[in-house]
Structure 1
């Protein structure tokens, strides 16, 4: 039996924005890499080779660095507690080498650390909508960016960026992901130009199978500043169903990276 369009959206987000697979109401009812591979996805604005060994921030310290309401004009910030996966343990894949970008897609730490926080940042269109059908429809046509911050000891952040870049290169042919029994196929992963912010940035694009009815393209980016790594993954339900490609909003990346130490 074919699943409803609502279920197909759940499948899409389970593959890419892992966070949306757990969103309330979503159910069947409704490296700078070393000169090779995905080098176009990585940009660098500074070098940390002579910097002293980094010390990881605490979870409480990371929480203070997350974007808060009022930090990005035209956007509203939510905690993400009900929409983001709580643990990497709920995410399974047939390709272990793809986990760094899979985790980044769910606002989880893409590297080896337990210090991770996350939230979501969405366009604030609902506040200006009227009762007209056009405005009500537009209120749902919003970009939602899932933001994650993770912190690392020593050169852990640099190793994490390389792992992400390596994953983009290794997973070009796609992978399958299983989030709490919901299996979805990412058919293609491509390198994308990073924002160039922070010390390193890795951009990537994923093509996700829409239950056999075409593909959806979703964009993500990972940025390192010092020993803190920020992940961004943007989805739009209306755009996904219409085949529109939505970039990660530059304003969101700029505002978040500006808050990092």
Structure 2
């Protein structure tokens, strides 16, 4: 059993008891939206992660969520935000009805997986919670649907906000797109005392938000059962937000409520 994956999952999904069973052997997915619009969906994570697929806006036949007519965002300032500015721009409790937002449970220590294949390093970086190129500042938050308290499929979404310099925000998404194509057949990563295997890479509908976005799914296993992990990565100006969620209940791809993506992205200056 991969101890680092167990620890990271507990930190990211906010349920140590469930995440402690996480083992590795995954299937991955990613699709990009070259520009942003108003809303989109990612997966609905859960403390015992959400297994609801397609609960918000339905994607268009092209696989991209349709933006709402009134959801246009003003132009970004393009500035590289400080950590304090990122924290101020992070989603807060009450900004999306029903969601409590707190600092990431267990702290913000990133994972340490290294991909065996250099081409797959951007995927390992997202899994670790530290998108590459390295950020100038990073802030972590967890959004939990308090209306689902006590439910096995309670929605929990981890938000990783990163600020970048000199065009690195664009490079985060560009390198991730390239890695998804290059690592379609799967890849392995190594930490100090563990090896993680990801079985394949495929695409998901990307959220239409910010200036551009990419969506990825990685499927692990808990006691032999598939556990889909989903990442939606959105860029607005020089800032990037990674929305992470998982489904520990069944093999269905979980959903991140589109309103979380829309409101969080719009808060970035």
Structures share fold, TM-score greater than 0.5 = yes
Q: Which residue of 1 aligns with 2:58?
A: none
2-side partners of 1:13 and 1:188: how far apart? 23
Instruction: Quote the residue 2:227 is aligned against.
Output: 216
Provide the C-alpha distance between the structure 1 equivalents of 2:157 and 2:119, rounded to a whole number of angstroms: 24
Instruction: Report if aligned partners of 2:228, 2:247 keep a CA contact under 8 Å in 1.
Output: no
- Structure 2 residue 183 is matched with structure 1 residue 171: yes
- For 2:240, which of 212, 221, 229 is the aligned residue? 229
| Partner SS for 2:260 | helix
Distance in 2, Cα, partners of 1:56 & 1:69: 25
Q: CA 1:20 to 1:226, structure 2 compared with 1: closer, same or farther past 3 Å? A: closer
Name which one, 1 or 2, has greater alpha-carbon Rg. Answer: 1
Runs of 4+ aligned structure 1 residues displaced above 6 Å come to: none
In the alignment, structure 2 segments of 5+ residues that lack a partner are 22-28, 38-74
| CA distance in 1: counterparts of 2:127 and 2:94, whole angstroms | 24
Work out the number of aligned pairs and report it.
Answer: 224
Among 118, 134, 137, the residue aligned to 1:115: 137
Q: Which residue of 2 aligns with 1:69?
A: 93
1:22 Cα shift? 8.8
Checking the alignment, whether the CA contact within 8 Å between 2:13 and 2:157 is kept in structure 1 is no
Higher helix proportion, which one?
1
Q: Provide, for residues 167-219 of structure 1, a one-character-per-residue CA deviation record: whole Å limited to 9, x for no partner.
A: 211221222234563443221221222111110011112232446x2533222
Stretches of structure 1 lacking an aligned partner (at least 5 in a row): 29-37, 128-135
Residues 98 and 144 of structure 1, relative CA distance in 2, 3 Å threshold? farther
CA RMSD of the aligned region, Å?
3.3
TM-score (ref. length: structure 1): 0.72
Q: Partners in 2 of 1:68 and 1:245 — Cα distance?
A: 26
Which moves more between the two structures, 62-71 or 19-28? 19-28
* CA deviation after TM superposition for structure 1 residue 157, in Å: 1.1
**1:249 has 2:227 as partner:** no
Q: TM-score under structure 2 normalisation?
A: 0.70
Structure ranking higher on relative contact order (CA contacts 8 Å, 6+ apart): 2
The answer on whether the counterparts of 1:53 and 1:155 sit within 8 Å (CA) in structure 2 is no
Aligned counterparts of 1:103 and 1:54: Cα–Cα separation in 2: 23
